[in-house]
Structure 1
């Protein structure tokens, strides 16, 4: 019997074969299943989306236990590789050691750890506190992660927020190179500029060998074709589109019901109950009932 390919190796295989892995955010097992059905290559277990799901700001209020439990639940409902967004690693290098063991055990393909101080503030908010830890301290976090994973297939992605913090490209490149030297498998560089110019410049000037990951939320005009053409970007993450789409759809449906005093006008705009049953795999339940229940 052949051994099943690890999720991390599956992600690497996608990158090798296609040049770019397309990863969509999810915040629940249901949204994870929809990501897979849509045809994406992986799932981003988003801290931002989970915070929003709980009605909380993305400022390190969601605990590791909450995020880990949801990520584990998503992993049971999809065969796609999951990249877990674990913010700062939930503390210092000691916290990272614990987190790495738990997330690897949960069956995810990779974790992303960012170089902000704990507690963090979400990256795209205007005027938010964006303090970074010293480079040496973050190198220690990367080393702790690498030393405590059980398989090299479990990827450690180091995320620099230097551009988000307004520290400039030189600082971002210096930090990325230092994180590569510490052993990171990939480098995620983030930007809140509304055009891709800042990221494109970073990528063109990147002299390291480690693949680059981007999250073009603030600069959506960056297409997958453009990312591929830059040559060094290997993962493109759609970072919060699932929760935003969900919010808009619910707002529209709820407003329609209030406006018309009933649900008679929205039947064609929402999923049928039979579609919910399909996603819940009710057909399997009926088959099992016929087979096993007297």
Structure 2
């Protein structure tokens, strides 16, 4: 399936009201494992990519670094890629320049948030977030929608009003303004430890476009719960790949040091044969047999 077909299928699935699931990935191997597990899409997470480089999620890495990772991920999976483009790496001019590049790299959707550039992580402990003016972000959404060559590429606008402590009225106001500007979906985010804040937003939502949730802070909200709301189109698991990787590596590394060797650890790990299969070795051998005789 080429990118145009993938985009068309993804937009159609979103329009049918089915709840789609996306798993975060910070490299192509993560993405392949997520597809293998049955997720509908890959979340090309800026947070995960920054964490994998051991730098803060604050636009420390360049747009080019993120773009090239998205290209590498899109090349190895058949499911749609949702690219996290943070704040659009600047103003509406920057957005109009980078959206076609993400589209060419194989993204089926871009998600852009209404914070100032350079951004700071939504997970910062002191809760401080600076949002741009509504009109400024509307311009960025309009620029993104106008810049795509395939109209099936989804433009998802993310409002951080709840994260910034500005309340539900402001969040609704912003979301409706972004829908008016051409957003195909609205990502509403909260870091409250219960889903109450987000559920209140969903209940109050009267827009025509579907919502997108990232339930990292409130894991008790299941996919069945979310689907029952009938207003959410996509649920994104935003940082579980990097957390799983860190947890597994810490455990394995500590056990090797504690036990003074790999004899016991090795029994619990995927085999090298498994890793070689994920690398696509069989396809390489097939090409080699057909063309390098």
TM-score range, shorter chain: over 0.9
2:3 and 2:108 in contact (8 A); partners too? no
Q: Distance in 2 between matches of 1:291 and 1:165?
A: 58
Residues 111-120 or 280-289, more deviating: 280-289
TM-score in terms of structure 1 length: 0.96
RMSD of aligned Cα (Å)? 1.5
Please give the per-residue CA displacement for 1:42-98, whole angstroms capped at 9, x wherever unaligned: 000000000001111101111110000000000000011000000000011111011
Q: Distance in 2 between matches of 1:39 and 1:18?
A: 19
5+ unaligned residues in a row in structure 2: which ranges? none
- 2:161 is aligned with 1:167: no
Q: Distance in 2 between matches of 1:7 and 1:251?
A: 37
1:176 alignment counterpart: 175
Q: Distance in 1 between matches of 2:2 and 2:48?
A: 33
Question: Aligned ranges for residues 137-152 of structure 1 at < 5 Å?
Answer: 137-152=136-151
Shift of 1:30: 0.7
In structure 2, relative to structure 1, the CA distance for the partners of 1:137 and 1:5 (3 Å cut) is: closer
Q: Distance in 2 between matches of 1:124 and 1:180?
A: 25
2:122 and 2:163 in contact (8 A); partners too? yes
2:50 and 2:56 in contact (8 A); partners too? yes
Q: Distance in 2 between matches of 1:278 and 1:252?
A: 24
Q: Distance in 1 between matches of 2:285 and 2:135?
A: 57
Shift of 1:3: 8.1
In structure 2, relative to structure 1, the CA distance for the partners of 1:23 and 1:4 (3 Å cut) is: closer
Q: Distance in 1 between matches of 2:48 and 2:250?
A: 17
5+ unaligned residues in a row in structure 1: which ranges? none
Shift of 1:8: 2.2
- 2:284 is aligned with 1:281: no
In structure 2, relative to structure 1, the CA distance for the partners of 1:239 and 1:26 (3 Å cut) is: same
Q: Distance in 1 between matches of 2:50 and 2:158?
A: 19
Residues 10-19 or 200-209, more deviating: 10-19
1:231 alignment counterpart: 230
Residues 284-293 or 227-236, more deviating: 284-293
SS of alignment partner, residue 79 of structure 1: coil
TM-score in terms of structure 2 length: 0.96
Shift of 1:271: 1.1
In structure 2, relative to structure 1, the CA distance for the partners of 1:263 and 1:3 (3 Å cut) is: closer
2:87 alignment counterpart: 88
Please give the per-residue CA displacement for 1:183-222, whole angstroms capped at 9, x wherever unaligned: 1110000000011111111000001111100100111111
Shift of 1:13: 3.1
1:97 alignment counterpart: 96
Residues 259-268 or 75-84, more deviating: 259-268
In structure 2, relative to structure 1, the CA distance for the partners of 1:3 and 1:182 (3 Å cut) is: same
1:7 and 1:108 in contact (8 A); partners too? no
- 2:215 is aligned with 1:241: no
1:121 and 1:128 in contact (8 A); partners too? no
2:70 alignment counterpart: 71
1:32 alignment counterpart: 31
Question: Aligned ranges for residues 53-68 of structure 1 at < 5 Å?
Answer: 53-68=52-67
- 2:194 is aligned with 1:190: no
Please give the per-residue CA displacement for 1:1-20, whole angstroms capped at 9, x wherever unaligned: x9875322221233355610
In structure 2, relative to structure 1, the CA distance for the partners of 1:162 and 1:84 (3 Å cut) is: same
Q: Distance in 1 between matches of 2:3 and 2:26?
A: 26
SS of alignment partner, residue 141 of structure 1: helix
Shift of 1:282: 1.4
